A and B are shown apart, each in its own frame.
Chain A
Amino acid sequence: MSIDIKDIIKPENLVYQKSSLLTDRVMHYCPGCTHGVVNRVIAEVIEELGIQEDTIGVAPVGCSVLMYNYIEVDWHEAAHGRAPAVGTGIKRLMPNKYVFTYQGDGDLAAIGTAETIHACNRGENMVMVFINNGIYGMTGGQMAPTTLQGMKASTCPFGRDIERDGNPLRMTEIVATLPGTCYVTRHAAHTAAAVRKLKKALLKAFDNQKNNKGTSFIEVVSTCNSGWKMTPVQSNKWMEAHMFPFYPLGDIKDV
């Protein structure tokens, strides 16, 4: 039996459309950037929970610095690395609001290491999203604490050398050891299945906040195809082959 395309494309047959919380602005991210997918999923989660009016996001410095242009909630922009400190202040002043921070690895795991660790150790009741693409994307692909051994970056063109540059940092495993975190998990957003799992994790993290459980920390192993100098599809394959063995996906802590 055949059916015409125009008879399928009807409101009653709709299964997926862009979240109403996303603005009409075209995202400034490079084609295929993981930031776009994660921004979108966060919007979908806030929409699904019906907490738009009560949510405050804290945007970072890095490629996602303009994230406040894309999701229709209240926002605060933090100085580089300081999102967890700013989020702490907001949540303590307005404990009935849902607060989330969103940071890259240069932001969360380099300049902001102290703020990250102390917010998690204090168990600030908020959701922290950590985009780990292994480099400083915005400033030209420099080596980050998260850059893998042997991985090329603009400041280590022959690959990260452990002798010279030290070991890559697994921030997520570190915060899982802290008593203040209630939920620590590592995800990706490169396949439809991974995106669906990420969405579930975010739903759970916001639910933890509702129940005053402490800090929920979600890492998303990500690509920066421009910085990595690969196509988006190649970047996803490279991430699976090289990032996942060092940054394995799954729950690290769930109390």
Chain B
Amino acid sequence: MAKIRGAIVVDNVTCKGCSLCVASCPTDVIRLADEVNAKGYNYAYMHQPEACIGCANCAMVCPDSCITVYKVKLAETV
């Protein structure tokens, strides 16, 4: 069976820390950082990268187009 793995890249310079991506992720990948960016926002980052399925739900709801999404299908060795 093929396994899906995804990854996101957040532009943490333009991220405004609104948390909409955090709420939209079905696999709880994203959190807001304790650190802030130059604008003073706690930016989003992949907290649990291995859970990402590359569905792009986070990117769909981001008002600031900060998220780029990647996805691969891995052939699983039984």
Which A residues form the contact surface with B (CB < 8 A)? 1, 3, 5, 7-10, 13-19, 22, 26-27, 29-37, 40, 189-192, 195-196, 231-233, 236
Contact = CB atoms under 8 A, between A and B. Distances in A.
Contacts of B65: 18-19, 22, 36, 40
B51 interface: no
Contacts of B67: 16
Interface residues of B, number: 39
Interface of B: 3, 5-7, 9, 14, 16-20, 22-24, 41, 46, 49, 54-65, 67-72, 74-77
A16 B62 CA distance: 12
Contacts of A190: 61
A255 B14 CA distance: 41
Given A231-B19, A232-B20, 7 more contacts: A13-B72, A15-B6, A15-B69, A19-B65, A27-B63, A32-B16, A233-B20
Max count, chain A CB within 10 A of own CB: residue among B3, B18, B22, B54: B18
B74 A232 contact: no
A231 B68 CA distance: 24
Max count, chain B CB within 10 A of own CB: residue among A26, A34, A196: A26
B18 A31 contact: yes
A232 B70 CA distance: 26
A27 B64 contact: yes
Given A26-B14, A33-B63, A37-B63, A15 B77 contact: no
Contacts of A1: 3, 74-77
Nearest to A43: B65
A40 B66 CA distance: 11
A51 to B, nearest CB: 20
Nearest to B58: A192
Contacts of B14: 26
A27 B76 CA distance: 42
Given A15-B56, A18-B65, A10 B70 contact: yes
B17 A3 contact: no
B56 A16 contact: yes
Contacts of B70: 8-10, 13-15
Given A14-B70, A232-B18, A8 B41 contact: no
A36 B60 CA distance: 11
Contacts of A231: 19
Nearest to B54: A15
Contacts of B6: 8, 15
B19 A232 contact: yes
Nearest to A32: B18
B51 to A, nearest CB: 12
A147 B63 CA distance: 23
Contacts of B58: 192
Contact of B19 (A16, A30, A32): A32
